[in-house]
Each structure stands twice: as C-alpha cells, then as structure tokens.
Amino acid sequence: MSPAVMLPLKEKDKPIVQKLLSAGCCARCVLRFCCVSVHAAYRQPHQETLKELQTFISSDTENGKSQDPDPDPASVPESTEEDNKSQDASVSEASDDPPSKKAKLDPGVSDAPPEGVKESDVCMLCLGILQDLCGPSRAVKIAETVKTENYTFDTLVLSVSLPAQLCVREHSCWLHVKKEVREKSSVLDKDDVIQVKEAFSGVMQGLVAKELGGVAVVIKSQFEVGVEFIHPETDADCHFLATTCGDCFKPTKNKLSLFTRMAVVKALERLSDSKFLKHFPCPPTRPSSSCTAQDIQCLHVSVFVAGRYNKFCRSLPQTPWVIDGERRMESSVEELIAAPVLSSFRADGFNFSSSGREDVDVRTLGKREQALCRRTLVLSPEVCFSVYFAGRPFAMELLNPHTSRLSRAEMKQLQETINNSSDKIKVRDLQIVSREAMGRMKEGEEEKTKSYTALIWTQKPIQREDITFIDEIKDLTLDQKTPLRVLHRRALAVRQRVIHTMNARFLDPHHFHLGLRTQAGLYIKEFVHGDFGRTKPNLCQLLKTDTDILELDVESVDVDWPPAIPE
C-alpha cells in the first residue's frame, strides 16, 4: 500500500484510474485526468507510477469499500464489475516486460513499435509523449542542443508543440470518463484536467535545468527552446472535423496543414457530443508507435540596436540597390553597418530602418564637434538643437541573436569596428534600445526639420542682391507634386512643405552653396530645378534663371533619438 500513498489520489479517483488504464492510457495521463496538479507526481518514472496505480486499484477489492463507504448503493455492483475488468486489463498492461525493455534501449528514440508485443504500450492519449519522450534522456538532448547553439541567456522557457489530433483524442477520452463521473455524481470539470503540455513541462523543466547547470527554466523568458512532436500515424484523426465543421478549416498561405491546433479546438467546441461519438471512437484506439520528436529549435527574442550614421560617399545607396535582380552598387549603408553588428550579436538576420533616407549621391554629414562650435554662432535655439543631433538616426532589429547583451565598452568597440571597416560611413551613439523606444524614431517624422547644403549652378551670373534675397526668405511654402523620379513607387499627390530658412554662400559667378532648413519630406533637388514646374515656387522662378543642383549633403536630421552617448 505504501507506494500508492505517494500519489495524491482519492477513493473517488479509482473508477477513473481503472477506466483509463484499461483503455490504454499511460500512467501520467491517468494522473492528468485525476486532476493531479502537483508536478512532483509526474516526475517519477512513468513505469513506477504505473505500478503504483495498479497497486492503488487492486487494493480496492479487499478493503476499498470499507475505507470509503460509497454513498450511492446503486453504483456498487457496477463498480465491482468494472474493477475486475480493468484489473485484468491492467495486469496485461503491467506485464512489466515492454516498459523495462524499452527503458534499456534509448528511451529518447522510441518511434519503432516494440517488437513481439501484441498490443503496443504507447498511450492512446498522449501518443507516447508523456512516456519515454518525457524523461532524463530527452532532457539531455535538449540541453545538448542548447549548449551547441551557444546562446547567452539567464533563463529559458521550454515550449512544446503537440500534434493537433491530441485535442481530438483528449476530447474522446474526456467523454469516456465523463460518463463514469456522471454516474458516480462526482464533480469533474474538463478545465481541471491537466494539459499534456503542463505535465510535460512539469517533468522536463527541472531535468533540463539540471542538465544546464542550474539555469532557471521558467514560464516566460526571452530565450525559448521549442520541442515539437509529430505523429503521422494518427494525423487522420482530425479529418472528420473538416466535414462536420468546414468553416473552421480555411486554407491559409503560410500554414502547412489545415488542421492547426486552434482550428481543431474551435471545431470540437462546436460539435455536439453525440455527433462526435458518431465519428470518433471512444475511448480512442491505441496507436502502434510513439510520436517523433522533431529537431529542437532555439530562439532568442530580437535585440534592437540604434545609432546615427554619417555617409561621406556619393556612390553609396542606403539599402542594397538591385534592379531586375542585378546589383547596381557593391555595398550600402545598411550592409556596412549590419555586418559587424550581426557578427557581434551572432544574429540570424536583421531589419534596418532609419529616419528618412538619402539618395545614393547625397551625403549625410554633420559632426558633433562642429556643432558645439557653431552653437555660439546661431541665434535660434532650434538650429542649435538640430546641428547638435547631426547624422541620421537608424535602428536595427537583430533576429535571433545568440548574444543579447553587450557592455558599454563592447558597444563602443563595435562602433569602432564599423567605423574602421570603411571610410564611406561613420556611426555614433550606437546603443541597445527597447522595441518601444524604436517607435520614437518614426514618430512625428513629418514634423521634424532637416538641414541641407546644396551646390547650385546658375545660368546667369549671380548678383549680390540674389544672395541677400535668398538670405531673407523665411517660411516659404512649396507645393510639390510627387517628383517624376519617384513616381514609380510613390502615389501621385501634391504635398505642401515649408522651407524655414535659406542662406547662400558665393563661390564664383555661376556657383554658390545653398544652406536650407526645411520641413522633413521636402524634395530639395526638385525645389532647385523645378521638376518641369511640378514644384512651385522653385529656385529657377525665385532667381529668374535656370538653376541646377550639382551636389547635396544632409547636414542634420532633427530627431532627438537615440540619446547621445557622451564620448
């Protein structure tokens, strides 16, 4: 009797235990249906639990009734008959040979049905997942994979993906037990049944933690280790649901199978018990083989890195430039920054975004040292601000980073690596940011101001009055029709944009440097040459001569994010 005391089972659980064992349920699934929520109960080897359960139910015939007088006399004879039946069944199941034989083989790999055994001992409910696929050898495999992938992490969450047909089998088994329970007038709620996932995690969390030297295996973590089981032999279990509840199973492009767990659960909820029982055996039939464990998948949540960049080159696109599958430029700002960042964080991939973008032939300049000097010269506080935050803000989402933390010194080192790798770009203020903080970069982008310097050519010689005239223009509103050169990717529209200030610096009679501070989203090139009258007013109209833009530099993008890092 003593081992049975270990399990927190009550007299009222006996009929359920008997019923489930004789139907071909494994010991752990029996515990689940008896609503045993103590994880410790699942941790002992399932063969041990099975022995205890057998002892538990066989004790009934001698002293069960005297210990637990049944209040309902009508149920006594039926219960006795049931007891005898399931006892026979459990003896054959307990015949001790198959489980121990399997245990001596590799318990982690048990896809093959045991040879020479008439009836397989694979659980008809969990399809073997809570049997030999849930124990120390599986924990060793999981830990080995995690170690090989060499992630840095403090905690991990173990996620389990189960074949969808488990829901169907679970439902069938529930109906099987419910009948019994109703007759015994016990209260058992389907929601109280412990889920296969929970039982699996209850056993595995501690084992995996131990294998990984005490790492905390928790419910929520940035690092996820995914275990997936499939069972092709019983995949067809779900198929009848498609005829009974067609609209639950709509084909989607990115799903391999119609029978997702979600859809199956939904279909089962809509199905009446009687209809279900017409289509599916109750209790479910026993499978001949266990589930197959798929490759273990490790995934770390994204890390976000932000900074500002300068671009010093007039032949460098911001992102890889590919036309009709052919590469036009050998590199890009994005790639020059991403390569060292990816290797530092050992990430699988990235998404790059920035506050606006410059054309391939436009430089993005602005130095903080300069900014600090120029601060004393400018009168408007906005200008001080804008110049101080020189460079274009950018952010990168790093996908599945194997390293998720870098110290301030390591980030500085990474920034130097990027800066030393090329003289075409430079980054500063490189830092790890939160996903939420990234939103600040795009926030109110249109309202921000930008500063530019353009090299202008004029057909007529420039007069002193022209310079003064330009310097005095304030808050000039332009109507810009979508430029011809971007019409293929932007909708045709007229946008109003403001030039806040301009200043001209004379170079020679046909050339001057034009400084502009504008609302973000204004097309500078089109303002200078007029874009065949699509931008009005334009510089040609203002100076009453043909003008063209020879060079353009972005001096600053006034987004006060990410925060500056003191050198």
Nearest distance in Å: CB 131, Zn ion: 6
- Give the range of 25-33, 102-110, 427-435, 507-515 binding Zn ion by CB under 5 A: 25-33
Kindly tell me which of 117 and 242 has the beta carbon lying closer to Zn ion. Answer: 117
- Please report how close the Cβ of residue 14 comes to Zn ion at its closest, in angstroms: 19
Question: At a CB cut-off of 8 Å and minimum separation 6, what does 260 contact?
Answer: 164
Kindly determine how many residues on this chain lie close enough to bind Zn ion according to the rule CB under 5 A.
Answer: 6
The CA distance from 5 to 466, in Å, is: 99
| Nearer residue to Zn ion within complex by CB, 126 or 470 | 126
**Which CB sits closer to Zn ion, 130 or 338?**
130
Of 359, 361, 475, 560, which one is the catalytic site residue? 359
Q: Is 72 a catalytic residue?
A: no
Q: How far is the CB of 128 from Zn ion (least distance, A)?
A: 7
Binds Zn ion by CB under 5 A, chosen from 7, 21, 23, 29: 29
Give me the half-sphere count of Cα atoms (radius 13 Å) on the Cβ side of residue 64: 20
> Taking the complex as a whole, how short is the minimal distance between the CB of residue 162 and Zn ion, in angstroms?
12
DSSP letter at 63 equals I
Residue 26 binds Zn ion, judged by CB under 5 A: yes
Check: CB of residue 142 under 8 Å from CB of residue 227: yes
The answer to whether the CB of 86 falls within 8 A of the CB of 18 is yes
Q: Is position 126 an interface residue for Zn ion (rule: CB under 5 A)? A: yes
Candidates 130-138, 240-248, 449-457, 464-472; binding stretch for Zn ion (CB under 5 A) = 130-138
In terms of Cα–Cα distance, which of 352, 341, 337, 393 is closest to 520?
A: 393
CB of residue 106 vs Zn ion: minimum separation in angstroms? 19
User: Contact, 392 vs 308, CB < 8 A?
Assistant: yes
Categorise residue 296: left if φ over 0, alpha if ψ from -120 to 50, beta otherwise: beta
The site map against Zn ion for 105-124 (x = CB under 5 A) is ------------------x-
Residue keyed to tokens 């124990």: 135
Closest among 55, 88, 70 to 11, alpha carbons compared: 70
7, 17, 20, 130: which one binds Zn ion (CB under 5 A):
130
Backbone angles phi, psi at 183, to 5 degrees: -65, -35
CB of 94 or CB of 543, closer to Zn ion: 94
Instruction: Return the range that interacts with Zn ion (CB under 5 A); candidates 21-29, 44-52, 442-450, 481-489.
Output: 21-29
Of the residues 23, 122, 125, 433, which one makes contact with Zn ion according to CB under 5 A: 125
With respect to Zn ion, which residue has the nearer C-beta, 26 or 303? 26
Which residues within the stretch 142-161 sit at the binding site for Zn ion (CB under 5 A)? none
What's the closest the beta carbon of residue 2 comes to Zn ion, in angstroms?
Answer: 25
State yes or no: cis peptide before 136, omega within 30 of 0: no
Phi, psi dihedral angles at 174 (to 5 degrees): -60, -45
Query: 29 or 554, CB closer to Zn ion?
Result: 29
Q: For Zn ion, which stretch binds (CB under 5 A), given 61-69, 127-135, 338-346, 556-564?
A: 127-135
- Judged by CB under 5 A, the stretch of 20-28, 54-62, 280-288, 458-466 that binds Zn ion is 20-28
Q: Tokens 């990410």 map to which residue?
A: 562
| CB distance 456 to 506 below 8 Å | no
Count how many residues are written for the chain: 567
3-state secondary structure (DSSP) of residue 270: helix
Chain residues binding Zn ion by CB under 5 A are 26, 29, 123, 125-126, 130
Q: Give the catalytic positions in this structure.
A: 359
